[in-house]
Chain A
Amino acid sequence: MGRYVIRRLLQMIPVFIGSTFLIFVMVYALGDPVAALFGDKAPDPATAARIRHELYLDQPLWKQYLHYMGQIFRGDFGTAFNGQKVTELLAGAYPVTLRLTLVAVVIELLVGITLGVVSGLRRGRSVDTSVLVLTLIVISVPTFVSGYVLQFLFGVKWDLIRPTVSPDAPFSELILPGVVLALVSLAYVTRLTRTSIAENVRADYVRTAVAKGLPRRRIITRHLLRNSLIPVVTFIGTDIGALMGGAIVTEKIFNIHGVGYQIYQGILRNNAPTVVGFVTILVIVFLLANLLVDLLYAVLDPRIRYA
């Protein structure tokens, strides 16, 4: 197990280097950061050249990348155009997005798995059909529609919550954004669980559990669910990465100052250090989430052993 983890961590290094290099190239090569720094005004060529020299922008791209990576490993993610350290932005944004993701994942797990189990056990009956139709609707409606509609209904029309989230972003204000963020994945979790349950309910070991005279609740929670959750866990694991980076729309709607918001601002203003810094961390989050899923596999299914 230990050796497996080490091997996986080592495998992350080339993935990390490759993906950050791609991001670096895309962000720096596809726009002129110095021009962006001056906004609408045309920069004085002498000043522009000086700034280019100070920011290593007159060096070839691969040298710039090496320089950037060297700084990252010393904990320096550079400075945004407004003079703020990128590390400060990271420290401000990541906890907020982490909380939002947590809310979304908890909702996905609780609601998604419950709905999936209920419909999976009653496959083909009316409960199952209505859950299927409902999830289909949820999957079809894009986030920016469901987000604005729910924000309008709960925040404006019925005045139940604040329509936007304050800078501190406490859990209580993140519930509705969490629901919006979770909606689509929730539908997938429901469908995955349903299929998995419906398939496993016919398994021989479930019949054995019935023959042992176990109560129905115990058969479902201990015998059926444990086997059926393996595909769901995979999905949730990869989804954590997607939720953390893909919250751009939700964070924009509810004015949450998280990762998605900062990346959005960074892209709009061609603010290269911010974008590259945030995405670099996202890459790490993705890689770790994947490793965690693989390790969780072994916990859920003892037939999988890593050596």
Chain B
Amino acid sequence: MTTIDKTAGLPEPRSGRDGGTPLLEVRDLHVEFHTRDGVAKAVNGVNYTVDAGETLAVLGESGSGKSVTAQAIMGILDMPPGKIPQGEILFRGEDMLAMSNEERRKIRGQKIAMIFQDALSALNPVLSVGYQLGEMFRVHQGLSKKQAKAKAVELMERVRIPAAKERVNDYPHQFSGGMRQRIMIAMALALDPDLIIADEPTTALDVTVQAQVMDLLAELQQEFNMGLILITHDLGVVADVADKIAVMYAGRIVETAPVHELYKRPAHPYTRGLLDSIPRLDQKGQELYAIKGLPPNLTRIPTGCAFNPRCPKAEDICRTETPVLHQVTEQGGGEIAGRGSACHFWKETIHG
């Protein structure tokens, strides 16, 4: 299996690797859910790495396993019904799945933090935002109530919430959607974590606010040199912020690439389909492309390539043999750094 390497041509990551160990490395992760209808295989052998200062975008439609992978990293999967039968999640070289609950709890929030999609439901409705922000300092650093509140105000200023001092005692419902998402970001930033996982941070926001929030996130990430995993289904959001992209389908990574490479020439029919279904100004009046069919039922993933029933290029081999993540090369045979495609016909897709 492939790891995504540092992107050639982009500026060097701000601190780089720590003696060769990546900040986070997910190895052959499997997650399944035992339900009444059978075993749903949500994640089937995912591999990726994130370095300090680097942004990995995980792309995929609903049910592709992108959020479940993130929850497994965070340790907030509902277990049961969830189960991790196989795989490793290495944080600074240490397998978090082998740690005790208490060890993992200390990493959560302090070293790895998460930003959730819908800030209104993700924030506690009956506690003031100041309390919820300050709680991080009180629990992890043992600060007093008063000190914690001062820190909370500082954090709110850092994410540019106007009149932070006056609003620190307000409740989540008293803020606008964009401001609430800023509070979520502030909460994740509170203890200067090494890695932030943002699970569709802008999906619930309107387009103008989306850009503001993404810019803020990117800026803060750069300032504090954090690793960032950005989970999204929005190809537009990814292009500006991410360093590299992993495209997921039915619990597998089907393509990995540095961000601009992927847009220029996708090496997997699914990625191609995704790109073709973005509305474009120069194709005004034409029918918009859509990938036929629906994502597979995770209790009955098709044999061979999971995408084969929807793929325009599917042939017999696709229905029998599961493709591995092939190293993608130039036409002449030169390796393209960080590119992989889990398609039997990747050559035809990228060069054809």
Residues of chain B from 88 to 146 with CB closer than 8 A to chain A in the complex? 105-110, 113-114, 116, 118, 121-128, 135-136, 139-140
- Report the stretch among A20-28, A81-89, A201-209, A278-286 that lies at the interface: A201-209
**Complex CA distance for A207 and B119, rounded to whole angstroms:** 12
- Report the stretch among A184-192, A214-222, A236-244, A261-269 that lies at the interface: A214-222
- Give A residues with C-beta under 8 Å from B: 202-205, 207-215, 218, 222-223, 226-227, 300-303
Given that A204-B118, A207-B116, A303-B173 are known contacts, is A214 also in contact with B127, CB under 8 Å in the complex?
A: no
Q: How many A-B residue pairs have CB under 8 A?
A: 74
**Complex CA distance for A130 and B221, rounded to whole angstroms:** 51
Known: A213-B109, A222-B127, A226-B127. 7 other contacts (CB 8 A): A204-B122, A210-B75, A211-B113, A213-B108, A227-B125, A301-B125, A303-B126
Are the C-beta atoms of A205 and B109 separated by less than 8 Å?
no
Residues of chain B from 162 to 179 with CB closer than 8 A to chain A in the complex? 171, 173
**Complex CA distance for A209 and B184, rounded to whole angstroms:** 12
Report which residue of B74, B107, B125, B128 has the largest number of chain A beta carbons within 10 angstroms of its beta carbon. B125
**Complex CA distance for A210 and B122, rounded to whole angstroms:** 11
Shortest A128–chain B CB gap in Å is: 15
The residues of A that contact B105 with a CB separation of less than 8 Å are 213-215
The residues of A that contact B114 with a CB separation of less than 8 Å are 211
**Complex CA distance for A300 and B124, rounded to whole angstroms:** 12
Are the C-beta atoms of A211 and B124 separated by less than 8 Å?
no
**What residue in chain A is nearest B120 (Cβ atoms)?**
A204
Shortest B44–chain A CB gap in Å is: 24
Shortest B110–chain A CB gap in Å is: 6
Are the C-beta atoms of B121 and A211 separated by less than 8 Å?
no
27 A-B pairs with CB atoms under 8 Å apart are: A202-B78, A205-B122, A205-B124, A207-B76, A208-B116, A208-B123, A210-B108, A211-B76, A211-B108, A211-B113, A212-B113, A212-B135, A212-B136, A213-B107, A214-B135, A215-B139, A218-B139, A222-B127, A226-B126, A227-B124, A227-B125, A227-B126, A300-B126, A301-B125, A302-B126, A302-B173, A303-B125
Partner of B140, one of A207, A213, A300: A213
Are the C-beta atoms of B124 and A209 separated by less than 8 Å?
yes
Partner of A213, one of B110, B118, B122: B110
**Complex CA distance for A286 and B236, rounded to whole angstroms:** 60
Are the C-beta atoms of A208 and B122 separated by less than 8 Å?
yes
Partner of B109, one of A202, A211, A226: A211
**Complex CA distance for A196 and B75, rounded to whole angstroms:** 25
**Complex CA distance for A303 and B126, rounded to whole angstroms:** 7
